Amino acid sequence: MSKITIAIDGFSSTGKSTIAKQLANKLHYVYVDSGSMYRAVTLYAMQLEYISKNYFLKEKLVEDLVNIELRFKYRDDLGYAEIYLNGVNVEKKIRTLEVSNFVSKIAEIPEVRRKLVEQQQEMGKDKGVVMDGRDIGTVVFPNAELKLFITASAEIRAKRRFDELIKRGDKVTFEAIYNNVVERDRIDSTREDSPLIKADDAIEIDNSNLSLEEQFEKIYAIVQSKLNAN
């Protein structure tokens, strides 16, 4: 059976990466979390002190982009790849609320997007890839055979992310997470370069009231019909 490209887009914390990982494992496809790349560039900007609560040295970051090398290394035990920033595994560090609070500012920068989109397209050039993000079906793989657009209410999304961060031991409040989710949605949807919008040919799925199993069943049925039609 010939391989297809699966693009999964949607608002923050909709569980895109959970679905994408499940599909990639089931189909033996490569999973790419494009958001982790924007998060890693954000972490770099924080480490080099190009961005803080009070200032943002955007031009400095743009000049320094050539020095950022991102790689994914697959981990058999986890069943997915972890991201490395200049040779260092940053998988855990990029998931903090602090990174989440800056990432949408970084992801607005056209030069950052150009660099990361190029790498994403290279990773998906042989198909057999499931990639999740904001602009995968619109910009990265406009010809993807299957495009999904995932939505859920802001309260439910914030609750899911809050539980995730509390579970790993981060000290965060629900209110701070909720505000971050809403603010990121706002910036991501209104930016000039590659805003978060549903591609015309994307299938929209609201998972507010779906369990993980129900969601997987529903989406896997869609995937199978695409594979059969292909």
* Positions that interact with ligand CDP (CB under 6 A): 12-13, 17, 34-35, 38-39, 103-104, 107, 133-136, 184, 188
Residue placing its CB nearer to ligand CDP in the complex, 118 or 230: 118
Residue placing its CB nearer to ligand CDP in the complex, 43 or 219: 43
- Phi, psi (rounded to 5 degrees) for 146: -135, 125
CA angle 37, 40, 45 (to 5 degrees): 130
Cβ contacts of 22 within 8 Å, gap of 6 or more: 216
Spatial separation of the C-alpha atoms in residues 30 and 21, rounded to whole Å: 9
Q: How far is the CB of 30 from ligand CDP (least distance, A)?
A: 16
Q: How far is the CB of 135 from ligand CDP (least distance, A)?
A: 5
Q: How far is the CB of 54 from ligand CDP (least distance, A)?
A: 21
Residue 133 host element (H or E): strand 129-133
Q: Shortest CA distance to 62 belongs to which of 122, 106, 120?
A: 106
Beta bridge partners of 82: 73
Amino acid at residue number 167: K
Q: Which residue's C-beta sits nearest to ligand CDP?
A: 35
Q: How far is the CB of 70 from ligand CDP (least distance, A)?
A: 13
Residue placing its CB nearer to ligand CDP in the complex, 47 or 189: 189
Residue placing its CB nearer to ligand CDP in the complex, 5 or 104: 104
Residue placing its CB nearer to ligand CDP in the complex, 27 or 100: 100
Beta bridge partners of 131: 7, 32
Q: How far is the CB of 3 from ligand CDP (least distance, A)?
A: 21
